[in-house]
Amino acid sequence: MSRAASVNRAAPPALLLAMLLLAPAADAARSHPVIAGSSTIFPFAAAVAERAPGPGALILPMGSGAGIAWFCEGLGAQTPDIVMASRAMTPEEASACRVAGASPLERVQIGWDGIVLAAHADGALPGLTLADLWRALAQRVPDPAGGTEWVANPYRSWHEIRPELPDLPIRVLGPPATSGTRDAFAALAIRPACEAALHGHPRADGERRHCGELRRDGAWVDAGENDDGLIARLGADPASLGVVGFGALVRNAGRVGAVCLDGSCPDADTIRAGGYPLARPLYLYLKPAHRAFVPSLDAFVAGFFAAQATAEGGRLARLGLVPAPADAARQPHAADAGAVTGAGWRNIRGWIAGGVLLAVVVALAAGMALVRRPVPASRLLEKAMGTVLWSSAVVSGALLAVVLATLVVPTLNFFLQVSPVEFLGGRHWSPESAIRASQVVGEGAFGVLPVLLGSVMVAFIALAFALPLACAAAVHGHAWAGLRFRRGWRVGMRLAALIPAVVYGLFAALTAGPAIAATAAALGLGAAAESTLAAGIVVGIMLLPVLAVRIEDALAAIPAAAAEAALGLGATRWEALRDIVLPAARPAIGAAVLLAVSRALGETVVVLMAVGLVANWTLDPLASTTTVTAQMVALMSGTHELDNVRTQLPFVLGLFLAIIILPPNAWALRILRRSNVTPSPVY
């Protein structure tokens, strides 16, 4: 029952969405745990959540730093209950937490991670020392020509650092500056050697602040947050090394090996015992106050220590977690006093963004004003306008082609690894574990049927809910309502159609879902808070105004003479509608319904907030479900590397969705073209 939306910190809109999702929630409004932070811990947390009892957890990998910043915004349902940290909180962070009132905190060490220097399995590099690493990767090093000056790192080859090392270019792929793994690597691997070299050095004061800085001349490559993606790149470039978590090494055993450091090679024992120099503890920080409304908080944490998961060969161990003994792990965390970090730059950035936005708006307004100014017509102007319009048409066509190509290429790659039969016929959907690319394919975790079923059921429930209401409302507005009511109704419906979908999403997540779950519980039925029924009804509510307006337009498009003829013969209003107007309006109503169907299938924001992420192969509308669109967003995580099936999946689903939405859309357009009803300007 895990709900593991993946949000990358390099994708602020997604983070914004996640925060928006929780933003207006009252304390009582959610009972599932929300966990954010380190992407190193994310696979472990996702695995724990899959087996955890109680409501599914929302797990958002965004890096330790970003996770802690959000975590420390304060208490309450709109902040995470737990932050995953691949390093201890800094005094500044602890202080921010304290200032915001999020303290006291508890810190749980779930285990250790070793930072591993991975190399291609056939790599020729023997063991290194930390001093070698420092010289190879630090931004500034002592001048190899001698003297006391430090210079920008001049080394190109390992051989130049130590003659015994092979003559291979220095090229190390690693996570970007926002990553906890990167921080830990700099602190553990680079800084100590730097400090040692500066001990008693005349230039120590000037150079010390550069300790821990990594080269910016290309020898160090920021390769993204996704360890598995990084390892895939190593396969293509055997001379490179990669800085990854121990978990990634375990998951990719056989493809890559580890470089031993200071004579110690990384394995579970050396990491736990502290023999491996780049071992670091993995922590969860949690807010005890949140136990009040997230009863499953402790059960979730306990999942990290479950014996069968942490034992050798257990689920977490196979993912590469070096577990900590449960008793030694937990301790209250006193938030240390420290300087409160300034938020100056963030404000400045906001001002700049606002300024740019304003400039764009002003430019657009000026452009509009220019266009609207009457200009004397001339052949030249006519020709210029023609050219402009022609190029716009070409550009939009070309953009469409690019979009399609964007979808097609990863899709083809995906189907080289996963058979289409499995994708289209499988009933088991578990793409999050596809981090272990090669293994999972055999398990058939890419069966799209349950996801498709979720989408179809949501759309069906939405239509079943919205269509009768919309029809009745439209018929009333068309034939019964008085002039004033009709005018008000039309304006109201058109305004309602303009409400952003995200508002309906909030309604679904905070009001409709819990209400339906509570109603079902009162009736003695078990309903998930994120039930298909709730999602369907909210999508239905969202479709209602658009549908009603379109149906009313369809009725209004039927010439009054037809209805008058029936009325003149003594038909009642209802008889005239039933016998004459509705049959004549049927094509346009059908088109409206088909467009609503394709909109319901493609609806993203509402279902993202209203449904879960677990695909259930069931017709039970009270069970939780997922949809194609929700899966796409969830899978758009972190890295944009397209080298494994998991990251290709959103593209596959996108193309799939486009294809299943095509027939109803095309049919609707055909009907509209045939019956010559102009689509209403609602969208």
Partner 1 sequence: MNAVAESTPAAEPVAGIEPTKFHVTTSPDGAALDLRSFNLWYGDVQALFDVNMEIQKGLVTALIGPSGCGKSTLLRSLNRMNDLVDELKVSGEIIVNDENILRSGIDVIALRKRMGMVFQKPNPFAMSIYENVVYPLRVDGVSNKKILNETCERALKGAALWDEAKDRLQESALSLSGGQQQRLCIARAIASDPEILLMDEPCSALDPIATAKIEELIDELKGHYSIVIVTHNMQQAARVSDNTAFMYLGRLIEYGTTDTVFTNPRAKRTSDYVTGRFG
Q: Which residues bind partner 1 (CB under 8 A)?
A: 482-483, 559-562, 564-572, 575, 579-580, 583-584
Bond prior to 104 in cis (omega within 30° of 0) = yes
- Which two three-digit tokens encode residue 282? 């993995």
Least distance to partner 1 from the beta carbon of 556, Å?
Answer: 13
406 in Cβ contact with 592 (< 8 Å): no
For 600, residues 6+ apart whose C-beta sits below 8 A from its C-beta are 458, 459, 462, 463, 539, 543
Q: How far is the CB of 482 from partner 1 (least distance, A)?
A: 7
Q: Is 218 left (phi over 0), alpha (psi -120 to 50) or beta?
A: left
Q: What is the Cα 184 distance to its own chain's centre?
A: 25
CA distance 347 to 324: 41
Q: Which residues are 172's β-sheet partners?
A: 220, 241
Q: Give the shortest CB-578-to-partner 1 separation in angstroms.
A: 10
Continuous segment of H or E residues that includes residue 473: helix 449-475
Nearest approach in angstroms of CB 415 to partner 1 is 49
Least distance to partner 1 from the beta carbon of 581, Å?
10
Q: Which is nearer to partner 1, 143 or 564 (CB)?
A: 564
What is the 3 state secondary structure string of 378-421? CHHHHHHHHHHHHHHHHHHHHHHHHHHHHHHHHHHHHHHHCCHH
**390 versus 480: smaller Cβ distance to partner 1:** 480
Cβ proximity to partner 1, 272 vs 578, nearer residue:
578
The whole-angstrom separation of Cα 422 and Cα 448 is 8
CB closer to partner 1 out of 486 and 494: 486
Amino acid letter, 137: L
Rounded to a whole number of angstroms, the minimum distance from the CB of residue 576 to partner 1 is 9
Q: Which two tokens stand for residue 219?
A: 């020898």
Considering beta carbons, is residue 203 or 586 the nearer one to partner 1?
A: 586
Q: Which is nearer to partner 1, 412 or 560 (CB)?
A: 560
When the beta carbons of 405 and 483 are compared against partner 1, the nearer one is 483
- DSSP classification of residue 101: T
Shorter beta-carbon distance to partner 1: residue 237 or 575:
575
Nearer to partner 1, 13 or 482 (CB): 482
Contact 477, 491 (CB under 8 A): no
| In contact, 60 and 13? CB cutoff 8 Å | no
| Best CA proximity match to 221, nearest among 170, 278, 168 | 170
Minimum Å gap between C-beta 565 and partner 1 is: 4
Tell me the CB-side half-sphere exposure of residue 600, using CA atoms within 13 A.
Answer: 35
Would you say 340 or 565 has its CB closer to partner 1?
A: 565
Min. distance of Cβ 473 from partner 1 in angstroms? Answer: 19
- Rounded CA-CA distance 542/606 in Å is 9
Give min distance, CB of 568 to partner 1, in A.
3
Nearest distance, CB of residue 574 and partner 1, angstroms: 11
Q: Dihedral of CA 648/653/654/660: which sign? A: positive
Distance, CA of 611 to CA of 626 (rounded, Å): 5
Please, which residue, 272 or 486, has the CB nearer to partner 1?
A: 486
Residue 624, φ and ψ in degrees, nearest 5: -75, 160
Rounded least distance, CB 573 to partner 1, Å: 9
Per-residue DSSP letters for 17-30? HHHHHHTT--GGG-
Element (H, E) at 669: helix 645-675
Q: What residues contact 337, with CB distance under 8 A and at least 6 apart?
A: 91, 95, 98
Instruction: Give the shortest CB-671-to-partner 1 separation in angstroms.
Output: 16
Question: Closer CB to partner 1, residue 383 or residue 586?
Answer: 586
